Chain A
Amino acid sequence: MSSTEIKVAGGRLSVDHSLCSGTGHCRDIAPQVFRVEGRSAWLNEDVDLPEADAERLLLHAVDSCPWFALAFERSETT
């Protein structure tokens, strides 16, 4: 299963297909999370990431996208 928005690592990760050009930078950084198909990146559902590294890894992927197509928003915590 794959989609353009998933809940992962205590937040919401999304890819904007109006910007994505399928360069695969995200897949290189976190292949367990991202796939590239039909010149667009997709997010794998049911991703199991170790909590400690997950946020850092996802923010790295977000910052590395040359098309600014990724976003990661941490959920509000109480």
Chain B
Amino acid sequence: MSEIAESALTERTTSEQATPSHRPYTAKANAPWTELAQDRARCPVAHSAELDAIQVTTYEAVKEVQRNHGAFSSTYSAMWPLPEPVPEEQQVFSLADPPRHTRQRRLVTKALSASRIARMRPFTERKVNDLIDAVAAKGETFDMNADFAIPMSEGHIAELLGVPEENREYFLRMSHRFMNSTTSVNHEGLADPELAQWLQDLQQVVRDRRAAGPVSDDLTTALAFAEDDGDMFDENEIALVMLGLFAAGNTSTSTAVVNIVRVLDQFPEQKAKFLADIDGLVLNVVEEGLRYDGPILGLWRRTMKEAPITDKVSACPGDRIYFSHAAASHDPEVFDRPDEFIIGRDWKKSPSSMAFGYGIHHCIGMNLGRLQTEVALSTLYKRLPDLQVRPGFEPQQIPGPVIRAWTSLEMVYDGPALPRTDI
């Protein structure tokens, strides 16, 4: 913290009212909106003892931390509060700053752009309908997470990257290991032996694709043969790009779907509106659902040089920053009645929510995630009559400051399932 800011911060953190109440490692709330609202109102940029970091909770300040990537580095990783930067050869995507990050991101923007992902819609509709057929065959209860959302997102990322059948279960398990590594204070990151082995195995995949030649049209092959100013990327860098796509793609979309399904049950009047006009309202439900309860609670940065976070508070070199996407998306300065789920919000007149982040690290899977979430929500509620969370079921949050996800969500409906929507 800078001099002026330091005295301001010390004053805040020593006064009783100004200790952040958000404690995602030790006392994670199922509904954190009240405590995040308290922190935003009383200490929007303040040191959190539990996080050992400056916690940032207003929309504008969360945006500023992501905008100023020159001062707030991702090289200490966005997922874990690492004490040192990751080795340079591992600085990829969410663990990288420009210029490395820029050339890596250019590799994949075309393949994941809105126009390209729109071509996947028939695959998405078939996959979602197949999964609904499968849950319907099991009876009138199922787990939204394990039986529907996870196989949906896993199927998409496997299709996009062309993962052979024999690797799919292993890659899914490693993706979950990666996400679960955020649940407790983690100083290991990619040095975890199982993740390190996965990275080795992904490097072998790249070598195999290169040996086979550019014969497939999946993203793995495109990455293996991509050039940057006439140079191929090294296999380690490609493997880390793939690891990032798997880790995010296998888990965050499923989380978004599960979160929104639960939110709909918490706001029955809004759910009734949606059910009366599913096609007309599904995009609004996705947008508002991602704002109200997106998959990312918050991420990490490390301060490299003194820089303002707000006009009152600056960070100093070495300061660890934890910025909360969930808190930003519930900021009353930006969103009217932020702690209510309102599907009629006019998004044309509103800034975007922070669900996909802001700036150079803006979620690269956004289009893929949106497509799946839209098709999943419209098809589930069209085909499964009276679909709802089992009354009395109490979902559990996974711990930690990064992910907002339920471990499972038991569903019931009044069968039988209605006909497929894709034929």
Chain A residues with CB under 8 Å of chain B are 17-25, 28, 37, 39-40, 64, 66-68
Closest to B63 in A: A28
Stretch at the interface among B216-224, B241-249, B324-332, B351-359: B351-359
Q: A24-B351, A24-B352 are in contact. Are A19 and B359 (CB under 8 A)?
A: no
Closest to B367 in A: A21
Closest to B113 in A: A19
Against A, the Cβ 8 Å flags (1 = close, 0 = not) of B362-376 are 101011000000000
- Chain A residue numbers with a CB within 8 Å of B116 are 18
- Chain A residue numbers with a CB within 8 Å of B348 are 37
Contact of B110 among A19, A23, A66 (CB under 8 A): A19
Residue contact A20 to B351, C-beta cutoff 8 Å? no
Residue contact A39 to B114, C-beta cutoff 8 Å? yes
Residue contact A22 to B359, C-beta cutoff 8 Å? no
Residue contact B359 to A68, C-beta cutoff 8 Å? no
Q: Residue among A22, A24, A39, A66 with the most chain B CB within 10 A? A: A66
Q: A25-B359, A66-B362, A68-B109 are in contact. Are A18 and B352 (CB under 8 A)?
A: no
- Cα of A21 to Cα of B356 in the assembled complex, Å: 12
Residue contact A66 to B367, C-beta cutoff 8 Å? no
Q: How large is the interface on B (under 10, 10 to 19, 20 to 34, 35 or more residues)?
A: 20 to 34
Residue contact A68 to B106, C-beta cutoff 8 Å? yes
List the 5 shortest-distance A-B pairs measured between CB atoms, nearest first: A66-B362, A21-B114, A18-B115, A19-B113, A67-B109
Contact of B359 among A18, A37, A40, A64 (CB under 8 A): A64
- Chain A residue numbers with a CB within 8 Å of B352 are 23-24
- Chain B residue numbers with a CB within 8 Å of A64 are 359-360
Residue contact A66 to B113, C-beta cutoff 8 Å? no
- Cα of A32 to Cα of B364 in the assembled complex, Å: 27
- Chain B residue numbers with a CB within 8 Å of A17 are 115
A63 to chain B, nearest CB (A): 9
Contact of A20 among B114, B359, B360, B364 (CB under 8 A): B114
Closest to A19 in B: B113
Given contact pairs A21-B113, A67-B113, A68-B106, a sample of 10 additional A-B residue pairs in the complex whose CB atoms are under 8 Å apart: A17-B115, A18-B115, A18-B116, A19-B110, A19-B113, A22-B114, A64-B359, A66-B105, A66-B359, A68-B105
A10 to chain B, nearest CB (A): 26
Against A, the Cβ 8 Å flags (1 = close, 0 = not) of B339-352 are 00000000010011
B37 to chain A, nearest CB (A): 24
A51 to chain B, nearest CB (A): 26
- Chain B residue numbers with a CB within 8 Å of A37 are 348
Residue contact A23 to B362, C-beta cutoff 8 Å? yes
7 contacting pairs across A/B (C-beta < 8 A) = A17-B115, A21-B114, A21-B367, A37-B348, A64-B359, A64-B360, A67-B113
Closest to A17 in B: B115
B129 to chain A, nearest CB (A): 25
- Cα of A38 to Cα of B139 in the assembled complex, Å: 40
- Cα of A4 to Cα of B67 in the assembled complex, Å: 25
- Cα of A25 to Cα of B363 in the assembled complex, Å: 13
- Chain A residue numbers with a CB within 8 Å of B359 are 25, 64, 66
Closest to A40 in B: B114
Q: A23-B352, A24-B351 are in contact. Are A18 and B362 (CB under 8 A)?
A: no
- Chain A residue numbers with a CB within 8 Å of B106 are 68
Closest to A37 in B: B348
A78 to chain B, nearest CB (A): 31
- Cα of A61 to Cα of B48 in the assembled complex, Å: 34
A36 to chain B, nearest CB (A): 8
